[in-house]
Amino acid sequence: MPALNARRRQAICLMGEDGEAAASMEAGLALRAAAAACEGFSGRLLRKLPFLAHAASAPAGGARARGAGCRVLGCTGFARALEAAARAEALDRRLLAPCEGGPE
């Protein structure tokens, strides 16, 4: 356990000195939350999830010109979009489950 505490102290020191390390840690935590939200999903849904996250984060109105209304997501933003898509999918599945012929 002392090694873990030393690593944690080192990470905290790095976060204070380097914004990139803090952003990396934030992205890792967001990705971990997204993975937790995906628990119990089938492989097919896991393959579909990045597309759902991308579609949900795309600008409304279908801007086709490059740079026209486009929003660039960083790693943390996309991980949050993945988590939101996973939670939305889980909610949809819970709502469909009582219906006849709902998801398996």
Average pLDDT, rounded, for the chain: 77
What predicted TM-score, i.e. pTM, was given to this entire model?
0.67
Write out pLDDT tens, residues 16-56.
Answer: 555 677 778 888 889 999 999 999 999 999 999 999 999 88
Residue 53 has a CB neighbour count (10 Å cut-off) of 23
Question: What's the pLDDT score for residue 66?
Answer: 53
Rounded to 10 degrees, the C-alpha dihedral 39/81/8/23 comes to 160
Residue 76 sits at the vertex; the CA angle it makes with 19 and 35, to the nearest 5 degrees, is 130
